[in-house]
Amino acid sequence: MNAPAPHTRITGTGSHLPPRRVGNDELVAELAARGIESSDAWIVERTGIRARHFAGEGVTASDLALPAAQAALAAAGRRADEIDLVVVATSTPDMIFPATAAILQAKLGIVGCPAFDLQAVCSGFVYALTVADAMIRTGSATRALVVGAEVFSRILDFDDRTTCVLFGDGAGAVVLEASGEPGILATDLHADGRHVGILCVPGTVAGGKVLGDPLVRMDGQAVFKLAVGVLEQSARAVLAKAGRSEADLDWLIPHQANIRIMQGTARKLKLPADKLVVTVDEHGNTSAASIPLALDAAVRSGRVRRGDTVLLEGVGGGFTWGAVLMDY
């Protein structure tokens, strides 16, 4: 008889933000110098964002991922050479190829294990965690390093106040291990390519030149309308798969895009405000890095504890969305 598929559990979390914190007032002043009007009140009212972090010149996604990964490994009590799978979720890779995961693998001194990037934009970490969970359950890996890392400041149009105030840079990481005890209870992933145009970077590289537009473009109202609905659907889907209800939730850790989307999802799940983990005010939208950054902040502050039932969910360009339900 075949042994039952193992469970998977997060055994360590880590994160890293670049040192430069850019508050709204500083960003508004920079925009004013370009002749663009904005204000701290305008940004906070619409997004909940008060600050974000920008990477220095020459700092790459793998540079941000490395200290986050090292912190997660330390928290898990694992050496880098005990990892047998590296997955990096990113929309801002170091190079066209090889994968940022391979570059991170080299920086960690790991040799031989699979390492690949996953591109699902702001849903990237949820997708990556789901893939790593599946690989561990099928015996293809036993200990995975799953990272979300972004340098979105490199693809922002600072003449567009509707997008440049939203995003920041950072990295978050987890160690996911095979376990005899349940951890990840259910996952749920979706995409709808009909909505590619509402959030995208519509450019590419060909013949040594940039073709198209290499900067973030977003229809904010369209994203908002889609996001609230699909996040509720995905949350209810993972709860149903796990045989749980919203009353079982201890924490909601959503993609940190916009405080109104986050609060709207919490209300639909009948969760009190103090069960919603919020870091968007200080981090901005860090795309694939936002959920692991928020998870690490909640774990290290003592809010999320062992045994808590946690819902992670993300939504992003593609249009992609998904959720992971776990007993931390």
- For a pLDDT cut of 70, what percent of the chain falls above it? 98
Task: Using the predicted structure, report yes or no on whether residue 73 has a pLDDT greater than 60.
Answer: yes
Predicted confidence band of residue 1 (pLDDT cuts 50, 70, 90) = very low
Task: Using the predicted structure, report yes or no on whether residue 126 has a pLDDT greater than 90.
Answer: yes
Task: Quote the tokens at residue 63.
Answer: 């540079």
Task: Using the predicted structure, report yes or no on whether residue 2 has a pLDDT greater than 60.
Answer: no
> Across residues 82-110, what is the average pLDDT?
98
Neighbouring residues of 291: CB distance < 8 A, sequence distance ≥ 6: 125, 126, 148, 172, 253, 254, 255, 256, 312, 314
Task: Using the predicted structure, report yes or no on whether residue 143 has a pLDDT greater than 50.
Answer: yes
> Across residues 189-208, what is the average pLDDT?
96
Q: What positions carry a catalytic annotation?
A: 122, 255, 285
* 101 close to 69: Cβ distance less than 8 angstroms: no
Q: What is the pLDDT, as a whole number, of residue 6?
A: 85
CA separation for the pair 41, 327 (Å, rounded): 38
Predicted confidence band of residue 133 (pLDDT cuts 50, 70, 90) = very high
Question: How high is the mean pLDDT of the chain?
Answer: 96
Strand order in the sheet with 251-254: 184-191, 320-327, 309-316, 251-254
3-state secondary structure of 286: coil
pLDDT digits (tens, 9 = 90+) for 274-323: 999 999 999 999 999 999 999 999 999 999 999 999 999 999 999 999 99
Task: Using the predicted structure, report yes or no on whether residue 192 has a pLDDT greater than 70.
Answer: yes
Neighbouring residues of 242: CB distance < 8 A, sequence distance ≥ 6: 185, 186, 325
CA separation for the pair 119, 318 (Å, rounded): 10
> Across residues 136-165, what is the average pLDDT?
97
Report all structural domains of the chain as residue ranges with CATH numbers, in order of start. 7-179 (3.40.47.10), 184-327 (3.40.47.10)
pLDDT digits (tens, 9 = 90+) for 156-190: 999 999 999 999 999 999 999 999 999 999 999 99
Neighbouring residues of 301: CB distance < 8 A, sequence distance ≥ 6: none
For 10-26, give the secondary structure using H, E and C.
Answer: EEEEEEECCCEEEEHHH
> Across residues 93-107, what is the average pLDDT?
98
CA 40: distance to chain centroid? Answer: 25
> Across residues 232-244, what is the average pLDDT?
97
- For a pLDDT cut of 90, what percent of the chain falls above it? 98
Residue 259: name the closest of 19, 10, 44 by CA: 44
Q: What is the pLDDT, as a whole number, of residue 218?
A: 96
